[in-house]
Each structure stands twice: as structure tokens, then as C-alpha cells.
Chain A
Amino acid sequence: MIGGRNGGRMGVDTGAAPLGSARAEILRRIRAATGGVSNAEVARAGWTRLPREYRRAATRGREAVLELLEDRLRDYDANVVRAGRDRVSAIVAKMLSERGKTRMVVPAGIAKEWLPAGVEFVEDDGLSVVDLDRFDGVMTGSTMAIAETGTVILQSVPGQGRRAVTLVPDYQLCVVREEDVVETVPEAMARLQETAELPTTFFSGPSATADIEMTRIKGVHGPRYLDVVLMGFGSERETL
């Protein structure tokens, strides 16, 4: 018997053990199993020494990184358009009209100059999920994108909104700024470290499943249609 569990607990479960002592008991079992109490300094020093020989920085040029992101997003069935800063609202108007979307929800704090005239944009002020379900789609900014995996990252901040807003509508239009695109996953996680405690969602293409014969098919519960505007350089940040 390993871990010294003989005392009074042999045999089959007869129901749960009395509450209250579970925490102490589990920690005691762990310490018996690993040979003692671990301490913060030893753990932190050990963590620092862990080998990390994998790529942790970009290896491609900027333009190649942006092209990679476009390619990877398209590979997941997302529609991607690159646009200069002053062209965003025109591109948005075109995308929405092509999809026949006339009534969109947007989070508070979205850049107003991205929103074209002629489309109804309703700001989320705590709408119910049933209300959210009635919109044609949602339009947001983004925190960052990872080129190598075709991933866009959203956080619960102005301009990106609470998670329900980008989840319930069936269509999402997302603006990604070129300066927020990194090549690799480690670069993204390093940038997110400061805001690690915010509710955070990574999305890589529209909702999908591979549960039927392992064939990836688009669209189950999250937004089934995804457009991305990759916005070219234009100085100051406004949605963070």
C-alpha cells in the first residue's frame, strides 16, 4: 500500500467521507506520496530551470507574418480582408451588405469610425441572451492575433465586450490591427501575461466540430460565420 491509506479506509466506498477534512486529507496524501511538503522557493526555482528550447520569438518578416495569418484564417473558412485604417468602415459596409446584415450588436467602446452609416449598430448595455440571439451579428475589435495558428484573441475590455456578446449571435465581424499580430503562441502568451486574469477567448475560425467521423465541419453553437478585417498601420491605439 502506497501513501499510507490503510487506516480505516480499506475496501469499497461506503459513501463520501465526512466533509471538512477532505482538503487536509488530500494534501496529507500528496505529501506522503511526494516525500514531504513542497515550498514556494524550491518550486519557483525549479520552474525557472525548466528547459524551454522551443521557438519563443518570430522568425519571419512582418509581411510574411501577416500573410501567414490570412492564409491560416482562410484555411478555417473565415473571410479575411486587409484594409488601411481609413478604409475600415467602407470595407465593413461592403461585408455586411454582401451578407445581408442590417442590425448588429457592438460592445461599448468600439471605435466609432469603423461603423458605416446605413447599418443599425446597437451598443450592448447588458442585453439579455434572448435579445442577443435576435441580432444579425456582432462586430468587435480584438486584443491580438496569432499567425501560426490562425487565432484571434478577445478579452473582456471596451471594444471587445463581455463573452456572451461574441458568442450568441450567429455572425461575427472582427477587426484585427496589424500591430497586434504575432507569429507564435509563446509571443502571444507573453503579451497576455499582464491581463491574464481577464475573461479571455481564443477563437480559430468559426465554430466547428469533428465529432462526426473526424471530419471538420463548420458551425455548431458559436458564430457560424466569421469575417476578419486586418487593419493596416495607423499610429495610436484607441480600443485598449
Chain B
Amino acid sequence: MSGSALDPKTAPVFPMAARAAMKDGQLRRNVRHATDVIQAKRARVVAEMPDWQELREAGKQIRQHTMENLDFYLEEFEANCTRAGGMVHWARDAAEARQIIVGLVKDSGSDEVIKIKSMTTEEIQLNSALEAAGIHPYETDLAELIIQLGHDQPSHIVVPALHKNRQQIREIFRREMNLPELGERPEDLADAARTFLREKFLRVKTGVSGANFLIAETGGVCIVESEGNGRMCLTLPETLITVAGIDKVVPRFADLEVLFQLLPRSATGERMNPYNSIWTGVNAADGPHAFHVVLMDNARTEILGDVEARQTLNCIRCGACQNACPVYRQTGGHAYGSVYAGPIGAILTPQLQEMHHAQSLPYASSLCGACYEVCPVKINIPEVLIHLRNKVVKQNGPLNVEAFAMKMMGMIFLSEQRFRAAQRMGRMAEAPLVRRDEKGEGWIGWLPGILGGWTKVRDLQEMPQETFRDWWEKRGPHGS
């Protein structure tokens, strides 16, 4: 994958991108290994919790309740954050968010920023906007640093460089940090990142972050992370700019008691991730002197308005569905053409594009339900996938082949007469295609046109000479 940003507007359709990804054996081995490790860890720490299902249900209900009262909780967050010395900005779309953030960085007097990993900033392609304005962004999360230095793109929402193995990471660091002697133990690589970034943490005066949770009750913001790079960016700069989707709000501080249990165990298979930071506005004696929050819509209200798809917004970005998905595990994340890959990406990405792009993603699933089973807030992803497939078909109009075929099927199934006629016709039509095996059973190995998709990978048994209905009618009154 090259350095061009993952943009659903220009990405190839999923089946094409997936075919290309499937040819990369190294990528598939890396993704399979990483997702195997993370799934085993998750399973172990989830099994420790006797009340896991009760936590999932509470998580779902908290998120659902928040979405139903979203305007109230956002206004409450804004009032409390402002009271505590924060500045709240609102952005209708990605362009407006980029414009606000670039302006705030310029106002801070800095031409560089240190960044915490944030999929929201990836979603709005903030880094290229900053660079275009002459501002250098330093990614400080280890995985994001690997991506940035490797001119790569994120392939997972929690572990963006999951598709790279240690040898590949060593090559990137050797080249970009000019460290010819660098070893390939993960410890060596982490040490190299520590040294490379230390000076930037101590020097750069402006930080940019996403947010895991915005707390309406207190106006506080919460970030969960592992490395401490987040704490560096939140604590040491003079100015901190946080960008968050409007879906990130939670009603009360106490709600974190549920989310702090669900998120780490689902995301990285840890009982708790190494660091959680909570801060509220500006504190004169501790941390940045200026704090801005950019609340961004960028089509989230479109999702909110679709009652059947609204649960998409409940997502807390743990990535468990990606690790569990048999499709993602084969293709990796880049094939989805979006920073949100895997099952959650298959429902989130097309909706963030207001169904104008990424229409192939709702089909990038076998509907096996593994994603639903591991989701910490019980998002019924298969249900939303089917709903979105319906939307795609409706949107494409009644003249497309699938919609037409389904309509015809519907007509046939509605009438007994038509159904019987169709069966008779089917038996006549298939006759020239049937060949018999040694047991005398008939099989069809080739079908014409779009039906050929079925017979390309498996044979179809011929239709029986006698249907159940025929047999039922022929049998005597006592079943003889």
C-alpha cells in the first residue's frame, strides 16, 4: 500500500482491493498472527469477568440513551467544559474541522504539533491539511509513527500498523531514523521510538489529540492509551487541541465504570490499558494553558437519523470486531479503502459517505455474526449490514439485475400456480446442463450469466424429478 490516503471516495471497490490484498502472503501472515494473539488475550480476560454480559448490556444501554438525548448531552458538555476554561468549537464536516484546527495551531504560534493516535484525525486527513499549511505533525503513537515514517496507511483502528512485522518495522526505522545498527527485538524498536520522540515531547508547544470519551456531567475529556505518548501530548504542550466526533459524549463520570471495563479487555486483551487520562478544561497548575475541543458532525447526524442504523454510533472503537472477522483476517484493513476497516468499517464508512461511496463494503461480510458476539456494546453489525445492503439496492433503482431478479422471485413465490410452473420450467431448462455421476445422480457444473457465480466454485445438484408437493398429492389418505 502506498502513501496515498485511504479515501472512500476514490478507493477501488472491495472485491477488487481484496483480490490484490489476498496475493500478499506476508501481509496475510502478519494480520493472521496479530489477530490470533489479540483474540486469545481478549478471550482470556473476558472469561475472567463473571458479569461480562451485564456489562455489555449496560454499555449498550448507556450508548443508546446518549444517542437519544445527544443534543442535551452535547450542550451540557459544552457548558461544563467552557466553565472549566476550555474552548468548544463545532464543525459540520471534515473541511470545517480541518480549517478550525489549522487556524488554532497557527494561533498557538507553532509550526509543528505532536499528535496522539486519533482515527478521527485520520478520517478527516488532518495531517495533509496541516502540512499544506506549513505545519509539521509528529505522530507519537508507536504504530502511527511506523505508518508515518513508512509512508503507509493505518489498517486497524487500535493497532494501525498491525499489518507490519518486526523485520519490516526495523527496516523503516533504520532508514528513516538513520540507525543502521538497530536490532529487531520489539524492545529495540520501542527504545528507538522513545529516543526519537523524546526531544519532540520536550520541545513542541502544541498538541493535537482525539478523545475516547467526552463527559457531559463534568465537561471532562478522557483518553485511554498504552505508551505514555498520550500523557506527554496532553500534559507538556502549552496548547492542546482535541477533535472528537459528536458521538464520543457519555452522560456522566460514573458511566466510565462500565466503559473502562469493556474497552481495554476488548481492545488489547488487558484488564486495564497502561494509562487513562481524564482532564477538565484548563488547570492553572497542571497541563496546557489553552485547551480547545472541536466537536465534529461529519455525517454522524445522518446515521443518527436512520433508526435501524443508529446503533453504528454506539461504537467505542475497540477493534474487537476486526480481529474476529474472517474477512478482515484474510484481507487486512487496506482493502476496505477507509481508515475504518473490518465489520465496523463496513457499516460506518458508507454511512459517513452518506451512501454515495463505499457501497461495496456492506457486502464485505459473510454475515457470520462473529463481530456481534465480541462487540462490547452489542452492536448488531450483521443486522446493520443487511439494512445497508437494502439501502444500496434501493438507491441503485429497480432496474439493476439483483433488484429485478428479487422482484421476479417475489412474484413467483406469491402464487402457487406460478411456483409450480417455474419448477416445471426449471426442470426443462436444466436438462441440457446436467451430467450424471457414477451413482446416477445429476449435477450441474456450469450455469450461464450471473448464475455462474454459484457454479464457479461448487456443483449444483439437479432438481428432483418429483417435488414434495407432487409426492404429497400422490400419497394415499393414510400416508401409504
Contacts and interface: CB of A to CB of B under 8 A. Distances in A.
B67 A34 contact: yes
A221 B141 CA distance: 10
A237 interface: no
Category for how many chain B residues contact A: 35 or more
A185 B260 contact: yes
Contacts of A221: 140, 194, 197-198, 201, 227-229, 231-232
Interface stretch (B87-95, B328-336, B423-431): B87-95
Interface in A102-131: 129-130
A42 B270 CA distance: 36
B65 interface: yes
A149 interface: yes
Secondary structure at chain B's binding surface: helix, strand, loop or mixed?
helix
Contact of A189 (B89, B256, B304): B256
A222 interface: yes
Given A3-B305, A199-B278, A211 B92 contact: no
A239 interface: no
Contacts of A206: 274
Nearest to A56: B257
Contacts of B211: none
Secondary structure at chain A's binding surface: helix, strand, loop or mixed?
loop
Contacts of A216: 268, 270
Contacts of A5: 302
B253 A212 contact: no
A23 to B, nearest CB: 4
Contact of B274 (A22, A55, A205, A215): A205
Interface stretch (A81-89, A161-169, A173-181): A161-169
Interface string A194-227: 0011111111111111111111111111110000
Could you say which of B61, B187, B275, B281 has the most chain A C-beta atoms within 10 Å of its C-beta?
B275
Contacts of B306: 2
A222 B166 CA distance: 22
A9 B290 CA distance: 34
Interface in A67-85: 72, 76
B461 interface: no
B33 interface: yes
B286 A156 contact: yes
A211 B274 CA distance: 13
Contact of A211 (B51, B95, B142, B276): B142
A212 B186 contact: yes
A190 B218 CA distance: 14
A47 B295 contact: no
Contacts of B187: 217-219
A221 B201 CA distance: 9
A211 B69 contact: no
Given A193-B254, A197-B84, A222 B275 contact: yes
B74 interface: yes
A190 B254 contact: yes
Contact of A150 (B197, B271, B301): B271
A64 interface: no
Contact of B276 (A15, A201, A212, A213): A201
Given A26-B92, A196-B253, A220-B142, 7 more contacts: A38-B72, A53-B54, A55-B50, A150-B271, A190-B254, A196-B278, A202-B277
